[in-house]
């Protein structure tokens, strides 16, 4: 039996036994054609610093545990593990169009999708997958042409405008309209907790010179509002601000529920974000 609890802004914490994951109400409106979720750290089989629902193969976890964790979250979310498409993620701004030929890459097949931090598709039955442990997951859905995209936007990716780059790639799809697109910024480190030194602050300030993105701390560091910058990147590409949703959940503040690289001092697992255009005829599960 699944239970649903509202958490943050427009987000739902879905619980099934010990397993917990996140969905977003604005995307659930399209549950007849779209499957999406983001995992938490709860409900898996991993131990130690990766306890328990680690989905990162590079976290020092036992591979069989990670596979078991994927099977658990996929079963709960109604996804086939064979449909997953993974990349190695390098904190850059590379994005890639994927289709049915890419199913299973990085999971149960060797992947040639290298140096990529964003995936997009119009192909039903292909599950976009990105990894996160503080970095911002950006879910994008264009309902008019049934196009889905997932972006891993850490501070380096944000600085190099990966969200804007993804919007540019989507704009090349036939019939695409930015004004119809819906974007969700999922659980990630918030402005409350994301501190950088002067050198990183200066890099951001040079590109995004707006006082509201920055706050100096008492120990001469800077807090940077990564999510506000991502929202600007998307609105600059024609997204309507009313269609961009920040769930407002900080992974470091909620490290009880989410893996947090900073909150766990680098010794932690990974969550994953998932997004799929449903195959025709796929059964729909009533959400909330």
For 151-196, the pLDDT digits (tens) are: 999 999 999 999 999 999 999 999 999 999 999 999 999 999 999 9
List the domain range (segments joined by +) for residue 238.
2-277
Secondary structure of 113-135 in HEC code, one letter for each residue: CCCCCEEEECCCCCEEEEEECCC
Average pLDDT for the chain: 96
Of 255, 230, 260, the C-alpha closest to 245 is: 230
27 in any annotated domain: yes
287 in any annotated domain: no
Question: Does residue 52 have a cis peptide bond before it, meaning omega lies within 30 degrees of 0?
Answer: yes
285 in any annotated domain: no
pLDDT in tens, 15-69: 999 999 999 999 999 999 999 999 999 999 999 999 999 999 999 999 999 999 9
6 in any annotated domain: yes
The pLDDT of residue 59 is 96
What is the number of domains present in the chain? 1
282 in any annotated domain: no
The pLDDT of residue 281 is 72
Can you give the CATH number for the domain in which 85 is found? 3.60.140.10
141 in any annotated domain: yes
284 in any annotated domain: no
The pLDDT of residue 177 is 98
Model confidence, pTM: 0.96
């Amino acid at each position: 039996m699944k239970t649903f609890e509202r958490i943050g802004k427009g987000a739902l914490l879905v619980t099934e036994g010990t397993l917990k994951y996140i969905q977003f109400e604005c995307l659930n409106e399209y549950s007849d054609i779209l499957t999406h979720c983001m995992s938490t750290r709860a409900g898996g089989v991993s131990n130690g610093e990766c306890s328990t629902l680690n989905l990162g193969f590079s976290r020092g976890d036992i591979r069989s545990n990670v596979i078991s964790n994927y099977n658990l979250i996929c079963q709960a979310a109604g996804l086939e593990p064979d449909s997953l498409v993974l990349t190695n993620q390098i904190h850059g701004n590379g994005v890639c169009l994927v289709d049915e030929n890419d199913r299973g890459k990085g999971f149960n097949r060797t992947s040639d999708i290298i140096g990529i931090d964003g995936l997009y598709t119009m192909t039903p039955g292909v599950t976009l997958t990105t990894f996160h442990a503080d970095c911002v997951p950006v879910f994008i859905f264009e309902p008019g042409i049934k196009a889905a995209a997932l972006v891993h936007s850490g501070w380096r990716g944000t600085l190099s405008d990966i969200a804007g780059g993804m919007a540019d790639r989507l704009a090349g799809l036939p019939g695409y309209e930015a004004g119809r697109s819906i974007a969700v910024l999922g659980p990630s480190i918030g402005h409350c907790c994301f501190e950088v030194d002067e050198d990183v602050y200066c890099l951001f300030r040079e590109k995004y010179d707006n006082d509201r993105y920055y706050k100096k701390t008492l120990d001469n560091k800077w807090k940077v509002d990564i999510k506000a910058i991502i929202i600007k990147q998307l609105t600059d590409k024609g997204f309507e601000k009313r269609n961009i949703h920040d769930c407002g959940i900080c992974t470091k503040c909620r490290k009880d529920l989410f893996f947090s690289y900073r909150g766990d001092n680098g010794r932690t697992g990974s969550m994953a974000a998932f997004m799929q255009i449903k195959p025709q005829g796929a059964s729909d599960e009533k959400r909330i």
